[in-house]
Structure 1
């Protein structure tokens, strides 16, 4: 039997204050805007099958079959969710994370000129 321990115990999800298991900040803080359709489908599946601490241990081949995607796509979509701070992954466990209260907005946010020039210098826009 697989022993499941949270990967990020400090970010165990709780039911949000509003009536929804999916945190409305997925929309209001533009997380969903930064997800591909495949990443959003994977997130929905993981939220649905996760236990009370956000943990699930579906095998990659099962996720691929259930979501009609190949393994390369699954890896790419999972990485998108990791990069957004929505999930943590340590094989064989995936943990759906609580959205951090002070998560920075990356879409439509104001930036100082210093931040803009720094990003240009790093080759990002």
Structure 2
């Protein structure tokens, strides 16, 4: 078994008091595979700005500016995240949802071995792994 050591031990990440990092189930349970690139960017943004309950009040103009999206792209990304059960939205409030409940639109496939990050990103980008 390979022992992992930090490359820059003085830069170890710490869980911030205001919230947590992305839930590893986003990848492990394959939620990320149902996200378009803009939807993944919006999800990352919402997780980052949300409070401890996953709530945020960022408006469309502010999100579009920060993520370099137009209105159509933002609406499509938001619909993608709602459809796959990662967020709820009722203007003006976003809620990042728990990953505890499986949503039927999220693909699940049995794999003999875990996928590498490179394989996952390749699949998300539309390539074969």
Deviation per residue, 1:35-57 (Å, 9 max, x gap): 11110000000000001111001
Partner residue, 1:107: 108
Q: Tell me the SS of whatever aligns to 2:65.
A: helix
Gaps of 5+ in 2: 1-14, 111-129
Counterpart residue number, 2:6: none
Provide the residue aligned with 1:117 in structure 2.
Answer: none
Q: Are 1:87 and 2:87 matched, yes or no?
A: yes
Give deviations 1:6-38, integer Å, cap 9, x for gaps: xxxxxxxxx9xxxx6211111011111111111
With a CA cutoff of 8 Å and minimum separation of 6, indicate the structure with the bigger relative contact order: 1
Report the TM-score when normalising by structure 2.
Answer: 0.65
Q: 2:95 is paired with a residue of what secondary structure?
A: strand
TM-score normalised by structure 1 residue count? 0.67
> Structure 1: where are the runs of 5+ without partners?
1-14, 110-125
User: Could you tell me how far 1:102 is from its partner in structure 2?
Assistant: 4.7
2:43 corresponds to which residue?
A: 43
The count of aligned residue pairs is: 91
Superposed CA RMSD: 1.9
The 5-angstrom pairing of residues 30-69 of structure 1 reads: 30-69=30-69
Q: Note if 1:70 corresponds to 2:91.
A: no
The DSSP-based 3-state class of the residue aligned with 2:89 is strand
Q: What does residue 8 of structure 1 align with?
A: none
